[in-house]
Amino acid sequence: MSNNLKNKSNNQADGKRSLAEYCERFAELNVSSNKQRGTAQYKPILLLSVIDSIAQGFILDNKIAVSEDLIDTFNRYWKLLNSEYEGGLHYPFLHLQSEGFWHITFKPEFNGLQPKTTNKLKQAVDYASLDNELFELIQNPVSRQALVDTLIAVWFSYSKKQIEDVISINNKLQSSKDESNISYSKDSSQEKRFYFKKSILRNAFFRKAVVHVYDYKCAFCKLKVTRSLKQNIVDGAHIKPLAQFYDNRIDNGISFCKNHHWAFDNGLFTIDNEYKIIVSNDFQEESPHSRTIREFHGEAILLPNSTEYLPRVEALQWHRKNVFRNK
Ligand SMILES: [Zn+2]
């Protein structure tokens, strides 16, 4: 192990690595499965924890220490996503080195024996750093979302119960919001603490769950374009905006294609309590090759099969009052 340790970055020679390349690498993480640890999602969960910590500003430069914040974030995600097996940050923190984009700098006094607990890891490691290109990509919200979506699409949706798993994880993420706020209000250094409700992971599971209950179709125009489970043309849109309400319950979501997501967020149309489309009279449009937005006025949107996922009437009312714009 220690032979590679000083070899900080061996990827400078072959040029910058792209987002697509890192997505591919995230999809192909070498994840050994064994009886004690199951199909271990240690590495994906460590990466999600690191990305989330960077997104929330807890990790500011490309020197990722074994901090209490990181340990805590990892343990929370571990508990939510993989409660069946024993967790532990030390395990993926070391093994991620074999992927080539995660580089560990050990403390000078490190004795070379593999740390078997998180405490030992803390004593041994100065910090880890990502490839600089990857660190930059994570700082950009658009490429960050692509990386998170890849991890979730590949590592958390492999079984027949795929969507039940995703929906139940989404619900767990939503309901643990209050609990996590309480547990941290006691802490004196609370301002630098993990904000669970702002977690990018919650948002990723929300989008995936919503899109799935609408069968990957736009609720407005019914368009469906998929390439694989990872790639489709629709988004899980929040009816009440995430940034204001942090409401990731599925009934605060509707699946829309990119165009109609934008139109909904900008108040060009809204939806009544009977799930019928109301189109604004306050915009111009030309659509020579497909139906205009206006032509959908009065039509019902597509609804999920299960009534428990129907858009919440209270959220629709809020949207009509606060987002929809008519002359
Ligand atoms: Zn559409």
92 vs 201, residue with greater confidence: 92
**Structure tokens, 282:** 């306050």
What's residue 265's pLDDT? 97
pLDDT at 5 over 70: no
pLDDT at 195 over 70: no
Write the pLDDT tens digit of every residue in 282-325.
999 999 999 999 999 999 999 998 898 999 999 999 999 999 99
Write the pLDDT tens digit of every residue in 57-109.
889 999 999 998 899 888 888 877 766 667 789 989 999 999 999 999 999 99
Whole-number Å distance, alpha carbon 223 to ligand 1 midpoint, is 6
275 in Cβ contact with 251 (< 8 Å): no
Whole-number Å distance, alpha carbon 189 to ligand 1 midpoint, is 45
Whole-number Å distance, alpha carbon 152 to ligand 1 midpoint, is 24
Whole-number Å distance, alpha carbon 173 to ligand 1 midpoint, is 28
Neighbours of 139 (CB within 10 A): 12
pTM value surpassing 0.75: no
106 in Cβ contact with 73 (< 8 Å): no
- Identify the DSSP state of 99: G
Whole-number Å distance, alpha carbon 233 to ligand 1 midpoint, is 9
Whole-number Å distance, alpha carbon 15 to ligand 1 midpoint, is 39
Whole-number Å distance, alpha carbon 220 to ligand 1 midpoint, is 5
Short-list 67, 45, 78, CA closest to 125: 67
Residue environment code for 33-67, b if the CB has 16+ CB neighbours within 10 A, otherwise e: eeeebeebbbbbbbbbbbbbbbbbebbeebebebe
pLDDT at 180 over 60: no
**Cα(first)–Cα(last) distance of the chain, in Å?**
68
Whole-number Å distance, alpha carbon 262 to ligand 1 midpoint, is 10
Question: Span 117-122, mean pLDDT?
Answer: 93
Write the pLDDT tens digit of every residue in 254-270.
999 999 999 999 999 99
What's residue 83's pLDDT? 61
Whole-number Å distance, alpha carbon 145 to ligand 1 midpoint, is 21
Confidence band for 181, pLDDT divided at 50, 70 and 90: very low
Could you give the CA distance from residue 96 to residue 92 in angstroms, rounded to a whole number? 6
What's residue 30's pLDDT? 86
CA 48 to chain centre: 8
Whole-number Å distance, alpha carbon 199 to ligand 1 midpoint, is 27
Whole-number Å distance, alpha carbon 174 to ligand 1 midpoint, is 27
Whole-number Å distance, alpha carbon 258 to ligand 1 midpoint, is 7
Whole-number Å distance, alpha carbon 305 to ligand 1 midpoint, is 18
**Structure tokens, 143:** 């490429």
Q: What is the DSSP string of 106-118?
A: E-TT--SSPP-SH
What's residue 190's pLDDT? 45
What's residue 34's pLDDT? 55
99 vs 14, residue with greater confidence: 99
233 in Cβ contact with 224 (< 8 Å): yes
